[in-house]
Amino acid sequence: NAGVMQNPRHLVRRRGQEARLRCSPVKGHSHVYWYRQLPEEGLKFMVYLQKENIIDESGMPKERFSAEFPKEGPSILRIQQVVRGDSAAYFCASSPRGAQNIQYFGAGTRLSVL
Amino acid sequence: AQRVTQPEKLLSVFKGAPVELKCNYSYSGSPELFWYVQYSRQRLQLLLRHISRESIKGFTADLNKGETSFHLKKPFAQEEDSAMYYCALSILTGGGNKLTFGTGTQLKVEL
């Protein structure tokens, strides 16, 4: 069991480009969470998804950010037209059905916007 | 709105000394609290949960609702305890739980 896999580990984009961050949850986990960590801050909740459904996106910026967790394949966090303020570490976590309060974290994707 | 406060960015102790990492929270509901740890070059991992009332790697944490605190303690620090520690509050949402994290405390255990 490889745990939660995130890729890429590091992503560099120029302002205006798109960033796609991928997260494969622990095998058998049906709940995925995305968090963002800005420099000198704690992790902040962005979105919670189950297969094919967004359950809670209260932490997502209203524009340019979107997330999905399709029936097949990894969860994707997509940031369109990136700006310098999007530079951060993005963490994905997954949890199994029935134990949703225990989350297993990936190693994160560090996004740098030039 | 819920909030988790970890007042110390860095805590430096000598090996064998007691450790206390402070965590305070504000939440109007019934809190469920966690401590997560991140060792150097490793991913964030769960250390302990208040519901379990267990001791992991010698660490304990007691939820004090009167003081709204969930401080992490260990009587004798070891070098391998050096890491980043995050306190987190769990909020129920649509069948899942979203975590609100503090800003973290870097624990450095010196020889």
Which pLDDT tens digit goes with each residue over A39-54? 888 899 999 999 889 9
Q: Spell out the residues 6+ positions from residue A113 whose beta carbon is closer than 8 angstroms to its own.
A: A12, A13, A14, A15, A82, A83, A84, A85, A86, A87
Three-state DSSP class for A102?
coil
Contact B99 A44 (CB under 8 A): no
pLDDT at B110 over 60: yes
pLDDT at B107 over 80: yes
Contact B49 A33 (CB under 8 A): no
Query: pLDDT band for position A35 (50/70/90)?
Result: very high
Three-state DSSP class for A86?
helix
- Chain B closest-CA separation from residue A109 CA (Å): 11
Mean pLDDT of the residues in chain A: 93
For the four alpha carbons of A2, B100, B62 and B35, in that order, the dihedral sign comes to positive
Alpha carbons B62 and B32: distance in angstroms, whole number: 12
For the four alpha carbons of A25, B102, B98 and A101, in that order, the dihedral sign comes to positive
Contact B99 A33 (CB under 8 A): yes
Give pLDDT tens digits for B43-101: 999 999 887 778 889 999 989 999 999 999 999 999 999 999 999 999 887 777 889 99
